[in-house]
Structure 1
């Protein structure tokens, strides 16, 4: 399975993103009541930022996930976490599948991490999912993330976690041994 990344076009991709981020399963994206215009505006703001970028992940040309890459030094997370050179922040949302594929979300997570670590400047990936989102915490752990602790961010209580290149590679080796 080959995955490709394309930059989000806020207007063209807006309807799809609206469908994804307002779905009940995306409650932790905090956009449940957002209109299409709200979603387009949010992604236009990301598109205009030099510190935050959004990408659609595609399999065989079909969009199946959304990932965001951001500079944690330019994000509120920097107020509760010591950002180091080589840190990059990540958000990930996998679209609802037409039919569940076991292991698909983990495969997407690993693809995104490999893509981020392909940048030689990136040393560590930072995530800050909602503290109550236990499903993503389990997924993060399988991908090599280590919990740094709970932090209070402007819109949520988050479980801050990080993953170095070595931790990611170790998680891949551990998976092979399972």
Structure 2
């Protein structure tokens, strides 16, 4: 399934059970219905690397309306046991500023994700979210490699990325941050899954 939907829908498009953690699902982000929820997430201290802590609800809505209407961008709301739990943004690097900083290959897909503020601690939760996201993206055979560019200071996400199979390519200077470029192919992710201990055991 192409993650860049041509027709608007809010139907659940993907579900996955992660052993030891629980059931996850993904549906397209609904604008404006999901904006109050999203504004509450992106303005929290834990979302400092998201870069929207001072954004107004109107600014958040404008940002995500543009992403949802873009031909080469898409956003999804992740659910955990039917409750909103994370945000996923997808984009084609060749149509993004990132594409000016590395040689984009056919089948590259960029992504960002943000986990909601925790109401209770669940061991291995963010690793499980990453597993669900990669399963969703790699379900489309056209997506051969996932590209990420987190802030170099974001040590927590670097560890999550390595656990999922991402391989660091070095640092790049983007207009809004110094980033660590990393790639993960379908084969690298499968190898990481085979090598990993159960999520709760390794957390």
**TM-score, length-normalised on structure 2?**
0.85
Residue of 122, 127, 130 corresponding to 1:101:
122
2:49 paired residue number: 28
Deviations 1:53-77 (A, max 9, x none): 0000012221100001110110100
The CA deviation at 1:159 is 0.4
Residue of 131, 156, 173 corresponding to 1:152:
173
Alignment of 1:22-171 (within 5 A): 22-171=43-192
SS at match of 1:2: strand
Deviations 1:95-128 (A, max 9, x none): 1121110101000101100110111111100000
Distance 2:116 2:53 in 1: 15
Q: Which runs of 5+ in 1 are unaligned?
A: none
Distance 2:102 2:88 in 1: 21
Structure 1 runs, 4 residues or longer, greater than 4 Å off: none
Which protein, 1 or 2, shows the higher relative CO under an 8 Å CA cutoff with sep ≥ 6?
2
SS at match of 2:131: helix
2:3 paired residue number: none
8 Å CA contact 1:10, 1:41 repeated in 2: no
Residue of 25, 32, 39 corresponding to 1:18:
39
Distance 2:182 2:161 in 1: 8
Distance 1:74 1:17 in 2: 25
Distance 1:109 1:158 in 2: 19
**TM-score, length-normalised on structure 1?**
0.97
Q: Which runs of 5+ in 2 are unaligned?
A: 1-21
